[in-house]
A and B are shown apart, each in its own frame.
Chain A
């Protein structure tokens, strides 16, 4: 799940404020039924889902870039093949998420235009650079790890096509996370230079990974309605805590140091105490001021514009063929 700060359309209503249709809709969700594209749904539910699924799809597409940055430099044939397979999976995730969004009455081209014009966002994490080979390990281990943390509960989300897409995606993501951790193991057990790469990657990726869950609950204004609709299952802080609790022992096993002086096991709460990421940095990245925002979006704009003649050409060919068939 790569959706952050998805604005929920519609205020959380009490039962008394709901129309009979809205009440019936909420009953279905409360009973754990899946909502399908042809079912009646509140306009706010539809719009919020388009934003959320669209943002997730865009993240898969933009997310190809930081990993693609290392395919041609992967250190072995096997690592190259694994990374290609992973990036191919991610493009595939993008494709079926766009398909899920299309069931809500928006086209892939419209969503693409919204991404390229900056009206829609993608996850802040992909605005950070991949600078050494261990970053590819850290992306798999931490970024896919954080994504899984969010996506596993979303398999139970109320919208049928989204839930089914999540079930498929989760299967592949756990393979991605394992391969990332495997790279980190090799690096952490490797030469001094490799260990340095691993620690450097962890130092840079740790806080941006924590930001993937979105702002703290106290600052997260859009959660209530989304949770009532089961578009969002857990709060940002719950998931972040879970992620830290899972990841810290893994870092210790690798012999790497999590870059947080305040990190400490808290027996009472049964979890780690840890430092919040720098939320000012997060909001700057969301505003477009991350280290790679401009390059990432320019790369997508260039791909889209350079590819226009290909799309037009194939369309022209398809039209010729269908008019030939019609004439026969």
Chain B
């Protein structure tokens, strides 16, 4: 695999992660449990969509077919998406939404600062900017997970249920392939497997503080990162997200 192809795949994965999670988080608009959370969720979604513009912009640039980040976001079908399955799962309650946010923020908070040292200046610049936002996201989502995990009996129960539900989707973060091998070889990315210990240490520290039990079953659902098999949920996200672009092709908005 050529480095260029690998980098295009990588940028697509990064952009799809933030696009799909940004979509999910934005579904909360106007429905959060408290006004401060409405503001924080909108802010998080806004950062994620901003990161998407950079990553998918890079993917489009490398692809060099005259496409824009919008073309990539709005004109692909399910099989071309490369986001983690974790991020396309429905929001369910606020507890599951924040638990997922934490599990992803924790990964981003470890991954992005390494990418900021990338030998590719474009990757480094995007990661540098995004890592500042993510440092704030992870602080907030970790605090909320701790607050609700170690809160009332009801909130503890809900956070444990959220963790149990999401846990089988966490392992996909480390379902690496040739893309990761080629890019780490080229000094463009740090291989995710080398960050695995650090990631699990971080989430274990926070989840323990939240008085939650980490499920023992190591089983991991896979297929989002590779594009082989998404969940049924992604298609519905795309129906909604892409509707205007699909119904009125070629329009300027």
Contacts and interface: CB of A to CB of B under 8 A. Distances in A.
A141 B251 CA distance: 21
Q: Which 8 A-B pairs have the closest CB atoms?
A: A307-B33, A313-B155, A313-B151, A68-B29, A64-B30, A88-B42, A310-B33, A75-B253
Contacts of B19: 77
Interface of B: 19, 22-23, 26-27, 29-39, 42-43, 45-46, 49-50, 52-53, 56, 69-70, 73-74, 93-95, 144, 146-148, 150-152, 154-156, 158, 240-241, 243-245, 248, 250-253
A310 B95 contact: yes
Interface in A175-196: 183, 186, 189-191, 193-194
Given A73-B241, A309-B155, A98 B35 contact: yes
Nearest to A78: B53
- The interface centre, meaning the residue of B56, B146, B154 with most chain A CB atoms within 10 A of its CB, is B154
A309 B34 CA distance: 11
Nearest to A64: B30
A25 interface: no
A72 B70 contact: no
Contacts of A75: 74, 244-245, 251, 253
A94 B156 CA distance: 30
B241 A76 contact: no
- The interface centre, meaning the residue of B22, B30, B147, B156 with most chain A CB atoms within 10 A of its CB, is B30
- The interface centre, meaning the residue of B35, B156, B158, B245 with most chain A CB atoms within 10 A of its CB, is B35
Contacts of B32: 303, 307
A302 B155 contact: no
A299 B31 contact: yes
B248 A193 contact: yes
B35 A95 contact: yes
Contact of A317 (B37, B38, B39, B147): B147
Contact of B30 (A65, A76, A79, A80): A65
Contacts of A327: none
B117 to A, nearest CB: 27
A294 B36 CA distance: 24
Given A64-B29, A309-B155, A73 B38 contact: no
Contacts of B29: 64, 67-68, 71, 84, 87
A91 interface: yes
B94 to A, nearest CB: 5
30 contacts: A61-B30, A72-B23, A72-B26, A75-B244, A75-B251, A76-B253, A80-B49, A81-B46, A84-B42, A85-B46, A91-B38, A95-B35, A95-B36, A95-B39, A183-B253, A186-B253, A189-B252, A193-B248, A193-B251, A299-B30, A304-B33, A309-B155, A310-B95, A311-B33, A313-B147, A313-B148, A313-B158, A314-B144, A317-B147, A317-B151
A87 B41 CA distance: 11
Nearest to A296: B30
